[in-house]
Each structure stands twice: as C-alpha cells, then as structure tokens.
C-alpha cells in the first residue's frame, strides 16, 4: 500500500526541496503576522499530505478492529496494520517483521524493554550503563527498574560543550559487569551523533544487551539494525512525519521470544483460562489491547514518503542546515553553542549571554519562528553543562538556509533589545 504519488518519486530524483515544502499544508501560514518558520522538529515534525490523506482514507474506507473480524473491513484493517509492520521491518532492515512491536513511541519502547527484559534479567548488583546525554525517557525507566531490582546505574561522561562521549570511559565502564547498555543515537540537545555500531559491538563482546534510542535519528538517516548490531531500537512516528501516538520497538527475535509480556489484555494471548493464560508469540505478545491501527497506517505512509525523498538526501540536507546554522550563529557576540561544529545531527542548541532562553523563544515567536527553550528533558545534562536551559533550533528537510538567515537576524535583534544584562 503506497500513498506516495508518482510525482513524488520523480521529484525525489532531483530532490526539489521547494516542491517538497508544499507537501506540508501547515507550513503555509503566518504566525504573529510573519511567515511561519518551524524550527521545533526535534520535538515533533510536521505532517505531509501523504500522511494526512492516509489517515483520512483509512477512517473513511477501511476502519475496523484487527485480528478478530471475519468481515471485509476487519480484513482490510488487519492487512493495513500488518502491512505497516512489514514496512517498518524493511525501513530498519530487520530480519523479520516479527521483530517489530508497535508502541506509543520511543518512551513506551524503552519502558517495555526495562519492564520485560529488565524484570526478567536484572538482579541486585547488576549494572545498567547509560550516557550523560540521555533524554529523561532513557533515564527514568532505568532508575525505576534499578529501584525495583537493586541494580545500579552507570553513566558514560560527556566531554565539554562539544558533547562527545568519553569512549575510553565507555570501555572501562563496560568491564564493570554491565548487563545492559542504552544509548541515544543522536542527542536531542547537543546534536552529537554517537558511534552506535561501535558501542553495540563492544557491548555485545562484553556480554551486554544493547538498546538504541533512535527518536532523533529514525526520520533523518538510514537505519540498519543488523549492521548496527543492536538488540533493541526504539523510535517515534511523530518525529518523522507520522502521527503522534505511534512508535516502533525493534527487538532481536531470539531475545523477544525469551521475554515475558509487557501488559496483559486482549490481542496478546493464546488461550485464557480463569486462572492461567498462555501468551501469543512475538510481536503480538507485546501488543495488548486494540492497537493504534490508524497510527500504523499513517506511519506506513510516512516511511514511504521519507524513502520517496531518500533518507541519504534528507540527512545531507538536515546536516547542511545544522552546520550552516552553527557557523552563522557563532558570529553573534556572546553566544554559546553546544555540540560539535560539524558531523552533527540537524539541530543547534545555544545560549545568548545574559538572555534567558524563554525570553529568547518568546521573542522569536513574535517573528514567526518556532524554537524550543528549556532543559529539553535533559536536566542531568543541563546540570553538567552548568546551564539552566538552552534555546534550540531543530531542522528538517522542509527548512531552508534562508530561514536560518532570518533566525540569525532575529537573534541579533534580541541582543540589541535586551542590551547588557547582568542577569541573575
């Protein structure tokens, strides 16, 4: 099932970014009297017509519950849902579509691993290794698990404002009896791209299970779970042109087969007796209740759409914007930029001396520019960097260098407006 028109494929060969922009109806509006510049893509991306139409089409023509109906609509809904699973397997180059579990998003995927894998495998004294740049969603589930089991958390340090991982420390920490490593692919604050294949290879050699948080990478670059050598990988649909409320957890099949269920309910059972239930095989064992069928249909359309453009082209475009923005913004007096100048993901975090990030974001909003200001669900990292918050511009393939230039102008205006500010 493809919702991508032929014209999209034709465009993709030459990648006509201007035309692609017109696939997103929401971008064609003014905010506070100015053309909208949407630079909050790391929080959530906008949705192309292909995805909006797929959702509409599903609800107008095919909506029914899955896996239990005999009737035609239920067959169609089931085919759409399981078709989405096959599409996701292809998107990640998974060995089998049984390795694709649909979740509400990255957060639920990580919670599922912590609950099912962690509950079955961790005991007091075991170690879980994270990094200092993790999002709260890749910290809190592990803290909860450690409180429950008596296992301990270790963190790979982040070095300086450029924010690369201390890889020597990683090697050292791995040797301390680590049972599981969970690491982000691309940092949502620093834009650092971690060498996840290398990290997974070393972890596997040390006998540790690996989890990749791909929330910031799944919509931006090609992912091959077999080449990465990870055991689990989680991402969210809404950050990659898909609907909110749908995500994917990839899990290596032998591991999934060994795990207990996550939640109990319909869909995940084989037989239910009043006192005993036998569970379905993966992936359905981990999908209790009526799933987000429309979400899967929308995500399927999003994956088709992204691959229609080409993830290589998307990554090059996003990275070009981030490197350009980093270089342009570094000319502003009193700016502090986070993350590496090059080789980074499509976002830039920064602070203007003496201007609080929230004042900056309110200002930019009056110019039609949507930024994020705050701790970005990275409170421990903020503490490490010694800042209460940062402002962040995060890009996607529909953004342009001209928009980055406008951001630069507004930041210069903000400096002028607030003038010298001794601050608190």
Partner 1 sequence: MFDELSDLYQQVILDHSKSPRNFRVLPGANRSAQGYNPLCGDNITLYLELDGDVVKSAGFQGSGCAISKASASLLTEMMKGKTTGEIRSLFNRMHDLVTTGKCEGAPDGKLAVFAGVHKFPARVKCAILPWHAAMSAIEGKQDPVSTE
Q: Which residues are catalytic?
A: 377
Which residue, among 343, 337, 351, has the nearest Cα to 418 in the 3D structure? 351
Q: Which of 69, 375, 400, 408 binds partner 1 (CB under 8 A)?
A: 375
User: What is the nearest approach in angstroms of partner 1 to the Cβ of residue 362?
Assistant: 6
User: What is the nearest approach in angstroms of partner 1 to the Cβ of residue 363?
Assistant: 6
Which residue, among 398, 402, 424, 406, has the nearest Cα to 16 in the 3D structure? 398
Distance CA 341, CA 344 (A): 7
421 contributes a contact to partner 1 by CB under 8 A: yes
389 contributes a contact to partner 1 by CB under 8 A: yes
Q: Which of 160, 175, 386, 422 binds partner 1 (CB under 8 A)?
A: 422
| Span from 226-234, 339-347, 373-381, 398-406 in contact with partner 1 (CB under 8 A) | 373-381
Strand-pair partners of 335: 352
Q: Which of 382, 384, 408, 412 binds partner 1 (CB under 8 A)?
A: 382
> What is the pattern of x (binds partner 1, CB under 8 A) and - over residues 341-360?
---------------xxxx-
160 contributes a contact to partner 1 by CB under 8 A: no
Helix (H) or strand (E) holding 23: none
> What is the pattern of x (binds partner 1, CB under 8 A) and - over residues 12-51?
--------------------xx------------------
Q: Which of 363, 395, 396, 398 binds partner 1 (CB under 8 A)?
A: 363
**What torsion do the CA atoms of 144, 287, 244, 11 make, to the nearest 10 degrees?**
130
Distance CA 125, CA 149 (A): 9
> Given CA atoms 408, 414, 415, 417 in this order, what sign does their dihedral have?
positive
Show the beta-strand stretches assigned E in 237-370: 247-251, 269-272, 277-279, 335-338, 347-352, 369-370
Q: Closer CB to partner 1, residue 22 or residue 32?
A: 32
Dihedrals phi, psi of 45, to nearest 5 degrees: -90, 165
> Given CA atoms 124, 128, 133, 134 in this order, what sign does their dihedral have?
negative
Q: Closer CB to partner 1, residue 267 or residue 359?
A: 359
Strand-pair partners of 127: 152, 178
191 contributes a contact to partner 1 by CB under 8 A: no
- Which residues of the shown chain bind partner 1 in the complex (CB under 8 A)? 32-33, 356-359, 362-363, 366-367, 373-375, 379, 382, 388-389, 417-424
């Amino acid at each position: 099932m493809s919702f991508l028109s032929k014209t999209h494929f034709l465009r993709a060969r030459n990648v006509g970014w201007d035309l692609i922009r017109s696939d997103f109806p929401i971008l064609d509006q003014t905010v506070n009297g100015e053309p909208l510049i949407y630079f909050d893509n790391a929080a959530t991306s906008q949705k192309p017509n292909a995805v909006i139409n797929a959702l509409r089409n599903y609800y107008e023509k095919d909506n029914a519950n899955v896996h239990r109906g005999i009737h035609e609509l239920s067959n169609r809904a089931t085919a759409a849902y399981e078709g989405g699973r096959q599409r996701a397997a292809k998107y990640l180059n998974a060995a089998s579509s049984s390795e694709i579990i649909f979740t509400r998003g990255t957060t639920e995927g990580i919670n599922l691993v912590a609950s099912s894998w962690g509950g079955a495998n961790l005991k007091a004294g075991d170690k879980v290794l994270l990094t200092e740049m993790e999002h709260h969603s890749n910290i809190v589930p592990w803290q909860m698990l450690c409180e429950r089991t008596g296992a301990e958390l270790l963190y790979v340090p982040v070095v300086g404002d450029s924010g690369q991982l201390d890889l020597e420390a990683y090697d050292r920490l791995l040797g301390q009896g680590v049972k599981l490593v969970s690491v982000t692919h691309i940092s949502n604050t620093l834009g650092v791209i971690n060498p996840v294949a290398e990290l997974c290879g070393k972890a596997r050699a040390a006998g540790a299970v690996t989890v990749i948080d791909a929330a910031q990478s799944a919509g931006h670059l090609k992912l091959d779970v077999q080449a990465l050598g990870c055991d689990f990988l989680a991402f969210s649909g809404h950050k990659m042109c898909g609907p909110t409320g749908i995500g994917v957890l990839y899990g290596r099949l032998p591991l999934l087969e060994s795990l207990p269920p996550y939640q109990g309910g319909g869909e995940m059972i084989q037989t239910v007796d009043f006192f005993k239930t036998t569970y379905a095989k993966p992936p359905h064992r981990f999908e209790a209740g009526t799933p987000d069928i429309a979400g899967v249909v929308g995500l399927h359309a999003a994956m088709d759409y992204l691959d229609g453009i080409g993830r290589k082209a998307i990554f090059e475009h996003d990275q070009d914007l981030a490197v350009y923005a980093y270089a342009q913004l570094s000319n502003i007096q009193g700016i502090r930029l986070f993350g590496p100048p090059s080789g980074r993901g499509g976002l830039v975090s920064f602070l203007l001396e003496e201007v609080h990030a929230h004042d900056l974001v309110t200002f930019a909003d009056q110019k039609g520019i949507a930024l994020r200001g705050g701790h970005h669900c990275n409170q421990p990292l903020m503490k490490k960097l010694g800042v209460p918050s940062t402002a962040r511009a995060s890009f996607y393939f529909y953004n342009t260098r001209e928009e980055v230039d406008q951001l630069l102008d507004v930041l210069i205006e903000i400096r002028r407006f607030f003038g010298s500010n001794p601050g608190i």
